[in-house]
Amino acid sequence: MSALDAIAPPPSPTAEPTGEAGLGPWAAAWRRLRRNPSGIVGAVVVGLFVLVAVLAPLLAPYQPATGEWFGEVTPTAVPGPSADHVLGLDSFGSDLLTQLLYGARSSLVIGVVSTAVGLAVGAVLGILAGGLGGWVDTLVMRIVDILLSIPSLLLAVSVAAVLGRGQWSIMLAISAAQVPIFARLLRASLLAQRGQDYVVALRSLGLRQRRIVVGHMLPNSLGPVLVQATLVLATAVIEVAALSFLGLGAADPAVAEWGRMLVTAQDRLEQAPQLALYPGLAIAVTALGFTLLGEALREALDPRSDR
């Protein structure tokens, strides 16, 4: 056996009965993912959500929050579906379909950016704790434990209240709540890799700890983190709506947000229940799509899942 064979990470086991012998771990995971019905449903929902968010200016029939038809809204009635407005108007005389489409764009941008920031900061803390160990591990994990002791939504609300209203405040607030989750998960994955044969062989060859952690242990520890990032996106969509519902969203009323739509619908529930029904369904379906896709990814990346 050559030196390269000695330091190579052990291949992930694959299930022989499913015909996955000879496939690499990522190819086998992709094959399992394609066979998962819930994963396909989740991928379709997420794909539609992304398409709607990206193509909102092309799909929306009007500009958001124009209030152009405010004169048609009365204290006792809100116009429903019509030829000009497929879903009707909202309480401020704007097209409801346009508000929903632009609300998807707002949720996607905030969810993706906040998750990316939380993943980046959490990954740094996880690498420091799991890769270096010792007093660094103890210090980082005590900070993470303090953050984990605070409910995520409460932490996000506190950060957003301190920073003030705005989309950037919501992004930082949600990412702050996600940092300890990613940090602890990556640390656990790195600790599981430290005792592997290839890591021991790398140390015996005299490689530096930094190169071992970044070049070899980290790539083999990213699977659970990527799965968690997909699941966290579902939580991020809900938290974006929650913070907007609490009045911590964008200060500009022209920015469409699903949470704000729920707030403005409270006084009109008896007259026009669709004002709360449509954004509520959009939040629920989007979060469900990310959850189904994340669970399917978790099963696909687990080589022991033989179905």
Q: What is the pLDDT of residues 140-150, one digit of tens each?
A: 889 888 888 88
**Mean pLDDT across 176-189:** 89
pTM score: 0.78
Residue 91 predicted with pLDDT over 50: yes
pLDDT given at position 253: 65
Q: How far is CA 162 from each of CA 124, 157, 170, 244, rounded to the nearest angstrom?
A: 25, 9, 11, 15
Residue 37 predicted with pLDDT over 50: yes
For the chain, percent of residues with pLDDT exceeding 90 = 11
Task: Locate the domains of the chain by residue range.
Answer: 19-301
Structure tokens at 23: 């496939």
- Residue 108 — very low, low, confident or very high, per pLDDT cuts 50/70/90? confident
- Residue 273 — very low, low, confident or very high, per pLDDT cuts 50/70/90? confident
Distance separating alpha carbons of residues 197 and 120, to the nearest angstrom: 28
pLDDT given at position 13: 42
Evaluate the CA torsion angle 63, 65, 71, 76 in order and state its sign.
Answer: positive
Beta-carbon contacts of residue 184 (< 8 Å; ≥ 6 apart): 126, 141, 144, 148
* Residue 291 C-alpha from the chain's centroid: 9
CATH fold of the domain at 19-301: MetI-like fold (1.10.3720)
Beta strands in the chain (DSSP E): none
Evaluate whether 168 touches 160 at the Cβ level (below 8 Å): no
Mean pLDDT of the chain: 80
79/285: higher pLDDT: 285
pLDDT given at position 304: 57
282/272: higher pLDDT: 282
For the chain, percent of residues with pLDDT exceeding 70 = 88
pLDDT given at position 305: 54
Structure tokens at 276: 């709360």
Radius of gyration of the chain (CA): 24
pLDDT given at position 26: 66
Distance separating alpha carbons of residues 125 and 155, to the nearest angstrom: 19
- Residue 29 — very low, low, confident or very high, per pLDDT cuts 50/70/90? confident
- Residue 47 — very low, low, confident or very high, per pLDDT cuts 50/70/90? very high
- Residue 23 — very low, low, confident or very high, per pLDDT cuts 50/70/90? low
Distance separating alpha carbons of residues 222 and 218, to the nearest angstrom: 6
Distance separating alpha carbons of residues 103 and 187, to the nearest angstrom: 35
Give the residue among 152, 156, 189 at the shortest CA–CA distance from 170: 156
Distance separating alpha carbons of residues 241 and 276, to the nearest angstrom: 12
pLDDT given at position 49: 92
What stretch of H or E contains 278? helix 274-301
Distance separating alpha carbons of residues 139 and 24, to the nearest angstrom: 37
Q: What angle do CA 214, 305, 9 make, to 5 degrees?
A: 30
* Residue 222 C-alpha from the chain's centroid: 16
